[in-house]
Structure 1
Amino acid sequence: MRNGRRQHSSQKVQGKFITQNQITGQKGINLIERFVLEMGFTWTSTSGANDAGIDGIIEIRDPATGEATNLIVQVQSKATETEFESETATSFVYRVKERDLNYWLQGNAPVLLVVSRPSKGEAYWIPVKEYFKAPERRTSCKVQFDKIRNLFDKNATSAIASQALPTDKGIYLRPPPKEEILTTNLLEVKHFASKLFVGVTHYNTIKEVENIFKELDERPGRLWFVKEKKIFSFHNLTEYPWTKVTDLGAVEEFNTKEWAVAKDTERQNDFVRLLNQALRTFASRKDFAAYTAQKGRNPIFFFRPRVRRNRETDVDELVRREESWKLEKASIRTLVEVYRSSKDQNRILYYRHHAFEGRFRRFENRWFLEISPTYHYTSDGINESKYRAENLAGMKRQEGHQSVANNVQFLAYYLAQHDLINKEYPFLGFGKLLNFQTDFGIPDLDWKNRADPDEIMPEEVLPDPQIELLTE
């Protein structure tokens, strides 16, 4: 109210609507309830907000004594006011959805499918599990209704009662159908080097070739290796300085895609070896350092700390590192944390780095980087901490499923990101995580009720590990 005048909104309030299909569906349920009560049984409706594929439950009751038996059958209603498929005076066809059928067939509670035309007061039924025992019916997902034999009315009382569960069996219900997107830890390899070169050389080892480059004061990169006096490379071996270590006229050029889809194991392994070399350079460009626990194993790539000038000492020091990113919402992730002594804040105990191990995988001629998130601990931001193993074990004990999933999502985002300043690396690039859509899943409420507390923590709330630090 302003100056005694009422202010009116110019926006029209949007109302709620109920469709004709919803009306028809409710009429079908009402028709079923009427027939069930005429049989002398009780009807409990489950339709509404919580309906997941079962519209009601029939409890068998002795009409003569009124005794309730606790024997039940479940009912799924399908109503229409139009003509049924392939309808004649004596029969018609009804097709069910496979996901509905899968749901009805699970568990040990019997399910009736009741198809009705409420305007004419007619309904027909089949016992789902009995009817779909035949494999050909199960495959076709089709029901052939006989309008006399399958009529749902008072005359079906005995047949309906026979479907009820025996008293010595409990009830198990499968979780209702739920479409979900499953995200894997497989990051798509969007592109790699277009050409692959193989050249004959007089040298036997990588070290020997590197020594030649040192003499020439050249650093041509590491996208190559030596095997059986041949150099395999994403670099063009016909150009300098490669001409100094390969035989002229003895260089072969290949389309890299030929090697990427090769069935020959050796050729595929050589291609993966070059991909691993490219990943090392790619990671370095993305400000990762590499740590190899033992010879022959894939390296662990860990984020480097930030460098900051200390104004008091005028010396560069390594400090915590944070990165902003956005999935569903913008947030900040701490990638390197500095842990200091409680007795002496100037004394750094160790650095904790977010890290990952990557392994290339091929599925259906598509290449992916399998991301395994982990942590790395250093004493000075570079060199391994003597307590790495103990601290890593302590962190892993605290980390739940959601934290691991969030780490995978962030790493995929970070590895695939590029801009005008950080341009795409021509020899290796990544796309999106591989996702699968399924027609089954666990309802969120059920998952949260059963999950461990650390599995449903908010994304950025994971606390710093409360680890008993091993000290000298």
Structure 2
Amino acid sequence: MKKIGLGSHIGDSGVALIHQMVNRMGFVWHERTGTLDAGIDGEIELRDPSTGEVANRVIFVQSKASDRPFPGENDQSFHYLCKQADIDYWMSADNPVLLICSHPQTGEAWWMHIQSWFADPSHRASGRIDFDKRTQSFDHSTSHRLLNLADPHGHAHVAVADDRQESLTSNLLKVTIPALLYRARTTITDPREVITQQQESGTADLRRDFILRRGYLHSWLPPQETTLGHVTRGATDAIETAEWASDPNRQRWLVQLLNYALQRDVNVDCDWHNGRKIVYFRATADLRQRQIRGASGRARSVFHPKFKKNKPEEISYCKHAALEWKFLQFGGEWYCALSPTFHYTRDGYRDSLFLSEYLTGIKQLDRNPAVCGHTRMWATYLKGDEGVLVPRETILTYGNLLDFTANRAIDDASWLADTRETDTDDSASKESPDADELALFEVKQ
């Protein structure tokens, strides 16, 4: 009577487990049948789950299955000893080769990319592979790593959206604009002259939220009620902002006035940088750190002096929370698209000589939680939630960030993976002037 030994049965179970896992990833498993398999049990062919198209990318697989513990196995790790003949065969392959060790009875499997491991001469001489169970589990989450391995430049794959709902928060802040704006005649054609005449009048409240068009000064308040009355003459007319919003030419004028309105709304706490076209939190009088309450209720640093390491009493540079923005109209509603950034000064006032380098450094380190927290902080500040800062009057009324629900979602682990980085890449540890600052803007998910 013919028999199938226990070892063969366990080996077949290991291959079946790999087949099952590969199917769950949305890829195709091709088993090599027969007895002529010189160290390769099958192939994984990459496939786009959304279209069904195969990518002409193949990964070879050698399966090692056991119902007993592997050498040195514990809850964290184990090792496996390979024959030199097998190593030589695997290393000669043009395609990536995986060694997958599994326990079919428990449904557990772990993988190692042979070529990358045995590229180390000491590893190849010993023939030993060390497995870390926490990072090398072979399951559904492994799919994006296999894509990066077989297609490192991303030519044959993109992240595929799952059919599930996901709540998203945009950077679009709802804005309600005044129903009316005002205009009065003026003989002045240069905005700088308007500023000069206000200064000569001795007022401390300079108004910059105006535009000059075709012999008229346009502003959000009647000019005679502000210092702009010094440069206007005659009667003041009221104009409905809805008229300008529906006219493509005058809509540009309206957006310019909206930009000036935001600058006016924050000028009690922020300065305007004309070169970068941003607002940024002003330095404190004594150059001490300044904080406000963010969306999560925690304190957020908006001005932070950094001192020299070798001279703790001297300031190296100052970091200011800053904001770029753009006003947009959708479906008759107005939104302010917030783009948080930073500004760096030498002493709280003059631009740092290393401004560009500092900005490059923080942008390389910033990730989604930091940017999200920074955006929420600005939204909370503009809205004027109680307890953020001293209450202030604003021209515009700011609402909440626009939330919406999508019925498709992409797995973060797939699209966030950077194929240019390796497991030993230390780019996250590169020095930056703000490396210790990111926690100030992190948002708990």
TM over 0.5, shorter chain: yes
1:404 aligns with 2:386: no
Q: Which residue of 2 aligns with 1:439?
A: 407
Q: For 1:333, what is the secondary structure of its paired residue? A: strand
Letter in 2 for 1:247: R
Instruction: Write the mapping of 1:348-359 to structure 2, written as runs, cut at 5 A.
Output: 348-359=315-326
Q: 1:255 to 1:386 in 2, by over 3 A?
A: same
* Structure number, greater radius of gyration: 1
Residues 290 and 238 of structure 1: is their aligned pair in 2 closer, same or farther, counting only changes over 3 Å?
A: closer
- Residue identity opposite 2:378 in structure 1: L
Q: Is 1:187 matched up with 2:173?
A: yes
Does residue 345 (structure 1) correspond to residue 327 (structure 2)? The answer is no
Mapping 1:110-149, distance limit 5 Å: none
Name 2:64's counterpart in structure 1.
Answer: none
Say if 1:202 and 1:229, in contact at 8 Å, map to a contact too.
Answer: yes
Is residue 325–residue 338 contact of structure 2 (8 Å, CA) maintained in 1?
A: yes
Seen in structure 2, the aligned counterparts of structure 1 residues 440 and 203 have a Cα distance that, compared at 3 Å, is same
Which runs of 5 or more structure 2 residues have no equivalent in the other structure?
1-15, 31-41, 43-48, 55-156, 439-445
CA pair 223-345 structure 1, distance change in 2 beyond 3 A = same
For 1:258-294, what per-residue CA distance to the aligned partner results, in whole angstroms no more than 9, with x for missing partners? Answer: 22x22332x1111111111111111213x1222222x
Where does structure 1 lack aligned partners over 5 or more consecutive residues? Answer: 1-41, 47-51, 60-69, 71-102, 109-171, 308-316, 467-472
In the alignment of these two chains, the number of paired residues is 302
CA spacing shift, 1:449–1:273, aligned 2, 3 Å: closer
Distance 1:292 1:383 in 2: 13
Identify the match of residue 463 of structure 1 among 413, 423, 435: 435
**Residue matched to 1:390:** 357
Counterparts in 2 of 1:309-324, with a 5 A limit? 317-324=286-293
Instruction: Name the SS for the 1:248 alignment partner.
Output: strand
SS of match in other structure, 1:389? helix
**CA 1:209–1:406 in structure 2 vs 1: closer, same or farther (change >3 Å)?**
closer
Does the CA contact (< 8 Å) of 2:328 and 2:336 recur in 1? yes
Tell me if structure 1 keeps the 8 A contact 2:273–2:279.
yes
C-alpha change, 1:465 and 1:233, in structure 2 (3 Å) is: closer
Classify 1:214/1:404 alpha carbon distance in 2 versus 1 (closer, same or farther; 3 Å): closer
Aligned ranges 1:293-332 → 2 under 5 Å:
293=275, 299-307=277-285, 317-327=286-296, 330-332=297-299
Partner of 1:262: 246
Structure 2 letter corresponding to 1:228:
R
CA distance in 1, matches of 2:312, 2:324: 32
Distance of 1:175 and 1:299 partners within structure 2: 37
Contact map agreement 2:265 2:394 (CA 8 A) in 1: no
Alignment correspondent of 2:68: none
Report the alpha carbon displacement of residue 214 of structure 1 after superposing the two structures with TM. Answer: 3.6
Structure 2 letter corresponding to 1:429: T
Amino acid at match of 2:164: K
**Normalization by structure 2: what TM-score?**
0.56
Could you give the per-residue CA deviations for residues 285-344 of structure 1, whole angstroms, max 9, x where no partner exists? 3x1222222xxxx6211123444xxxxxxxxx21122333243xx433222222211221
Residues of 1 paired with 2:361 and 2:416: CA distance?
25
- Identify which of 255, 259, 273 aligns with 1:291: 273
In the TM superposition, what whole-angstrom CA distance separates every residue of 1:111-158 from its partner, at most 9, and x where no partner exists? xxxxxxxxxxxxxxxxxxxxxxxxxxxxxxxxxxxxxxxxxxxxxxxx
* Structure 2 residue aligned with 1:157: none
AA paired with 1:436? F
Considering only aligned residues, what root-mean-square deviation do their CA atoms show, in Å? Answer: 4.3
Q: Could you tell me whether the CA contact under 8 Å between 1:184 and 1:434 is conserved in 2?
A: yes
Which of these residues, 198, 206, 213, is aligned with residue 213 of structure 1?
A: 198
Secondary structure of the equivalent of 2:344? strand
Aligned residue runs from structure 1 range 51-62, under 5 A: none
Question: SS at 1:435's partner residue?
Answer: strand
2:324 partner SS: strand
Contact 1:394-1:465 within 8 A present in 2 as well:
no
| Paired letter, 2:162 | P
Partner of 1:281: 264
Taking a change above 3 Å as real, the CA distance of residues 380 and 347 of structure 1, as seen in their structure-2 partners, is: same
Contact 1:282 1:425 in 2 (8 A): yes
Q: 2:410 is paired with a residue of what secondary structure? A: coil
Which of 193, 213, 220 is matched with 1:234 structurally?
Answer: 220
Render the CA deviation track for 1:52-107: whole Å, top value 9, x for unaligned.
Answer: 9x9xx9x9xxxxxxxxxx9xxxxxxxxxxxxxxxxxxxxxxxxxxxxxxxx98766
How far residue 351 of structure 1 moved from its aligned partner, in angstroms, is 0.6
Once residues 164 and 365 of structure 2 are traced to their aligned partners in structure 1, the CA distance between those partners, rounded to angstroms, is 30
Instruction: Give the AA of the match of 2:314.
Output: R
- Contact 1:180-1:440 within 8 A present in 2 as well: yes
**Whole-angstrom CA distance in 2 between matches of 1:334 and 1:418:** 17
Q: Does structure 2 conserve the Cα–Cα contact (< 8 Å) formed by 1:340 and 1:349?
A: yes
Q: Given residue 293 of structure 2, which amino acid in structure 1 is its aligned partner? A: S
> SS state of the match for residue 344, structure 1?
coil
User: How much does 1:175 deviate?
Assistant: 5.0
Residue 203 of structure 1 pairs with residue 203 of structure 2: no
Return the letter of the residue paired with 1:441: A
Instruction: Confirm or deny: 8 A CA contact 1:416 1:429 kept in the other structure.
Output: yes
